[in-house]
Structure 1
Amino acid sequence: MSSGTFVDRIDPFAKRSLKKKSKKSQGSSRYRNSQDVELQQLPPLKVDCSSLEQEELFIRKLRQCCVSFDFMDPLSDLKGKEIKRAALNDLSAYITHGRGVLTENVYPEIIKMISVNLFRTLPPSENPDFDPEEDDPTLEASWPHLQLVYEVFLRFLESADFQATFGKKVIDQKFVLQVSRSCHYPLLELFDSEDPRERDFLKTVLHRIYGKFLGLRAFIRKQINNIFLRFIYETEHFNGVGELLEILGSIINGFALPLKAEHKQFLVKVLLPLHKVKVLSLYHAQLAYCVVQFLEKDASLTEPVVRGLLKFWPKTCSQKEVMFLGEIEEILDVIEPPQFVKIQEPLFRQIAKCVSSPHFQVAERALYFWNNEYAMSLIEDNNAVIMPIMFPALYRISKEHWNQTIVALVYNVLKTFMEMNSKLFDELTASYKAERQKEKRREREREELWKRLNELEISSRAPNKEQNLLTNQSAGGLIQDANPSLGAGGAQLNPNSLSSPTVTSTSSFTPSSANSTGNNNNNSTGSGAAQPPGSSGAGSALSAATSQQNASAADAAAALSK
């Protein structure tokens, strides 16, 4: 993992370049003619000719279409490109309308032609700061030929003459995920193409393969699982997540009951963590559909799914929060009452937070739950649990929210609650108002205590300054008595140059410090140390004042701690 990626994982709001690089509208992984061969125009395929001749011509055309061209130069090999285009159209029509044309000998030739044209290393993105939500994708320059190859592939898989016994010899695990030392051209990895047209064809092709070859189904699901895990925990980049989820939606719809443990694990370990990726908006609709399909199959999965969504609930992204709320409403549409009871408390605690959100779209989306008839019936059946959770947030928002649309929606919800259970509504209103009065009283008490502390601090500064001045003057007199030559020589003594005793601020006094201060003052007074003449009375008065202030500060600190 690069250092830039590591920083982005920690701080998703890391600085990006203000001016993005100019993107090319087209790109290609084909940079030159794969073979220096000049194509020759072949006669068209005809259904009414002898099968042996047509099979031979069919194979010749398939091999002719294995030649690839450079589409980055629109003027190069124009004749060859046109011959290949015509041949691909002829192949597609022949497979569609012919009968008995898919013999065992043509299966490997068709797959070879498809592999040569489709399986390629995808070029890296031209823009390192590519944002799929804002930037236009880079389209495949060789699409005029690639599209025809995909159409031939689909006609081949959908043909009435297609036989899975012959097909499984050439369409196997290596074809779906071909990995070797020399090449890495998996069909599934092509879903990372930036061109949405190619991903749309791949979605249909993979769905046909999944339906035709029963032996590949578990393998395909496993490889899709691996792609998702790598996307979640490593790269956070894969263009075809939405298309793969769309395929999975139809696959999940066909799962037999009861669900296998591996399917439930896929839901909890893969589909739910997909919600935490920052580009969730690109595939959220397909992801929510898959989750709802699981819940329709097995209602017992409702609790782990809802708790998983609450675990990954976004904290700072309001756009994702709106999407989560939409998915929760889809779940509520299919939830069963016994399952709703299990998740109502944590769910509505989160909904109460959303209603209190200063972002009006989040609050508005949460309040729209009360427009859902089935959700309202669930809330009404469990109003004794839900109303105490929602009422404080709703009442506060009705008085404080800045958006008048939200305030109007909140009033409608409160009116619904009042009609639903007027007795409980009155109790909650009285309880909330009493609690608010207690909070206001506690706030006033705290303000008064802090005011007292500030006054004590201000009043303690004057005696401390007077004590410091007396101490400095007394110390200066003692030094002058001990060494009269200092004053006689004309040199003046600066009392401020002497170190003054450190005085602890009253704002940091505690009862223990007050007692220790008093003991130290008593000990120093009772000692046999020499004291300046005339300073004993002033020192005693200052000591008494300081002790009284310490006691007051200790009382205030104790009150604050309560």
Structure 2
Amino acid sequence: MFTKIMKRGQRNKVSKAEAIEPPPTSNAPPPSVTVNHASRSAVAAGPPSSGGNLHVHPVPSVPSSGVVEVLPLLKDVPVSDRHVLFLKKLQICCFSFDFSDTLKSAREKEIKRQTLLELVDLVQSGSCKLNETLQEELIRMVSVNVFRCLPPASHENSASETGDPDEDDVYLEPSWPHLQLVYELVLRYIVSADTDTKVAKRYLDHSFVLKLLDLFDTEDPREREYLKTILHRVYGKFMVHRPFIRKAINNIFYRFIFETERHSGIGELLEILGSIINGFALPMKEEHKLFLVRALIPLHKPKSISTYHQQLSYCITQFVEKDYKLADTVIRGLLKYWPVTNCGKEVLFLGELEEVLEGTLSAEFQRCMVPLFRQIGRCLNSSHFQVAERALFLWNNEHIVGLIAQNRQVVLPLIFEALEKNMQGHWNQAVHGLTANVRRMFLEMDSELFEECDQQYAEREARSHELSEQRELTWKRLEAVAAEAGGEDMVMVS
């Protein structure tokens, strides 16, 4: 989808045309542009306000039927008239319509759609350069259309607190026929070679970016896909926005992790971050390491991790590939948030752990191997066969087996008991077979160590059995004494 959106601009090229410039009397304010009786304030033509804040006009009310006029194409009018005509077209595109009824204002909806199509073709063709006034009005029109209150999420409508997001019906934005074209227009404006970043950043300012990020909570996957593409392009083209974007995404994650645990666009934001992390320069800044510890690793906590785990795992492994010294931090972070009763999450964690261990060197492995293999030992004995099976699959990875072999004196004693318990009593035959393979691997790796661990395990089992017999004998003695002293009133509990 990402590539498809970017390639779309190669089609429908229009012929070269002259730049759209204001009329010769541009020193005077341009005429007030209205579309017949539409209730919208006149388009301001003054210079952008200081600080570059985006001032969005109120959304114009829907015009009555037959009010919106069909304007000529820009290429069909003289150059001197194009400036005013362009403003008129932008104002037509500012109208909002009721899409709950497909027949309502059908003519006006089609006029707006055709106008948006013309503007998209014009911007993506590169056949004209928009002056600052037109750029400001273009971004204002985009803001009027896309910055809106999102409808309540499906879980809010159903008052569900524990529902699975994957089970909810996918919400589709009714106004998408217009909204898609508006997103396409702003995307073409951003990627255009004719767009001067020094000018554009006055209108695509921090306020605009922040409102764009707020829209990631939409439940419509098509809109999130466009938002992801647009924000990624903004990050790439406007270097001044990069720290702000990272901080704003950070704040979204904090709110999601520690407050709501509800957000529809975490996966898309992590996709953007995956590309950003891939471009981090070395040595890595302390700011980026803090982002890993304070935001990315805690993202393993929410129950809905399955909806974004693939993207999260990619970001985590990117950090380890960039700086192998972070492997210990990541592994200890995974252990901190390791699920206790959620077997589905455990399977995800084990898969991510394998990817992290693939990029881990021996020195970092040694720092965390004791708590790590204590946890893996617990997974080996899980009654949920998928958890036990996934833990045993770690021994199919050559790099992990190499790390284990180098540190077998520590690792094998930690998990030997878990392996023996699986051999003696695990209910699943696949787990039983995989456990036998792992035992055989350790036996071939170091037979003396294996025999030593086997002997220690046998001694522990014998002591445990002896203690159990002593406890049973002690209780029997207590029962005998109580029976002699209590007489007929005593109640025996077996």
- Shared topology, TM-score over 0.5? yes
State the distance in 1 between where 2:253 and 2:79 align.
46
1:237-386 alignment runs, 5 A limit: 237-386=262-411
- Aligned AA for 1:99? S
How far apart are 1:343 and its partner, in Å? 1.3
Task: Give the aligned CA root-mean-square deviation in angstroms.
Answer: 1.9
- Aligned AA for 2:130? L
Of the candidates 154, 175, 179, which is equivalent to residue 146 of structure 1? Answer: 179
State the distance in 2 between where 1:45 and 1:404 align.
73
State the distance in 2 between where 1:141 and 1:95 align.
25
Match of 1:167 in 2: 200
1:404-443 alignment runs, 5 A limit: 404-443=429-468
Q: What SS class does the counterpart of residue 276 from structure 2 fall into? A: helix
* TM-score, scaled relative to structure 2: 0.83
Match of 2:255 in 1: 230
Q: What SS class does the counterpart of residue 357 from structure 1 fall into? A: coil
State the distance in 2 between where 1:51 and 1:310 align.
67
Of the candidates 380, 392, 407, which is equivalent to residue 417 of structure 2? Answer: 392
Match of 2:126 in 1: 98
Q: What SS class does the counterpart of residue 432 from structure 2 fall into? A: helix
Match of 1:60 in 2: 88
Q: What SS class does the counterpart of residue 133 from structure 1 fall into? A: helix
| Cα gap change, 1:324 to 1:338, in 2 (>3 Å) | same
**Residues 122, 128 of structure 2: 8 Å contact kept:** no
1:453 counterpart = 2:486? no
State the distance in 1 between where 2:483 and 2:265 align.
69
State the distance in 1 between where 2:102 and 2:433 align.
61
1:85-125 per-residue CA deviation (whole Å, 9 max, x = no partner) reads 11111111111113233333321111011001000011213
- Aligned AA for 2:143? S
**Residues 164, 304 of structure 2: 8 Å contact kept:** no
Of the candidates 143, 159, 165, which is equivalent to residue 115 of structure 1? Answer: 143
- Aligned AA for 1:321? E
Match of 1:77 in 2: 105
How far apart are 1:133 and its partner, in Å? 1.7
How far apart are 1:44 and its partner, in Å? 2.4
How far apart are 1:56 and its partner, in Å? 3.5
Instruction: Say which structure, 1 or 2, has more relative contact order (CA 8 Å, 6+ apart).
Output: 2
Match of 1:180 in 2: none
Match of 2:72 in 1: 43
1:330-379 per-residue CA deviation (whole Å, 9 max, x = no partner) reads 10111122111111111111111100111101001100001111111111
State the distance in 2 between where 1:371 and 1:144 align.
50
Unmatched runs of 5 consecutive residues or more in structure 2 = 1-58
Match of 2:191 in 1: 158
1:521-536 alignment runs, 5 A limit: none
1:200-259 per-residue CA deviation (whole Å, 9 max, x = no partner) reads 110011111111111111111111111111111111111111111111111111112111
State the distance in 1 between where 2:79 and 2:249 align.
40
**Residues 60, 94 of structure 2: 8 Å contact kept:** no
**Residues 66, 116 of structure 1: 8 Å contact kept:** yes
How far apart are 1:162 and its partner, in Å? 1.2
How far apart are 1:52 and its partner, in Å? 4.1
- Aligned AA for 2:63? D
How far apart are 1:51 and its partner, in Å? 4.5
State the distance in 1 between where 2:465 and 2:164 align.
49
**Residues 200, 243 of structure 1: 8 Å contact kept:** yes
How far apart are 1:54 and its partner, in Å? 3.6
1:196-211 alignment runs, 5 A limit: 196-211=221-236
How far apart are 1:163 and its partner, in Å? 1.0
Match of 1:214 in 2: 239
State the distance in 1 between where 2:387 and 2:61 align.
54
1:137 counterpart = 2:170? yes
State the distance in 1 between where 2:77 and 2:435 align.
77
State the distance in 2 between where 1:42 and 1:132 align.
45
Match of 1:34 in 2: 61
State the distance in 2 between where 1:325 and 1:53 align.
65
Match of 2:159 in 1: 128
**Residues 419, 435 of structure 2: 8 Å contact kept:** yes
State the distance in 2 between where 1:51 and 1:347 align.
71
1:403 counterpart = 2:451? no
- Aligned AA for 2:180? Q
- Aligned AA for 2:458? K
How far apart are 1:137 and its partner, in Å? 2.6
State the distance in 2 between where 1:431 and 1:295 align.
37
How far apart are 1:285 and its partner, in Å? 0.9
**Residues 256, 263 of structure 2: 8 Å contact kept:** yes
State the distance in 2 between where 1:50 and 1:95 align.
19
| Percent identical residues | 51
State the distance in 2 between where 1:337 and 1:131 align.
40
How far apart are 1:59 and its partner, in Å? 2.7
1:176 counterpart = 2:209? yes
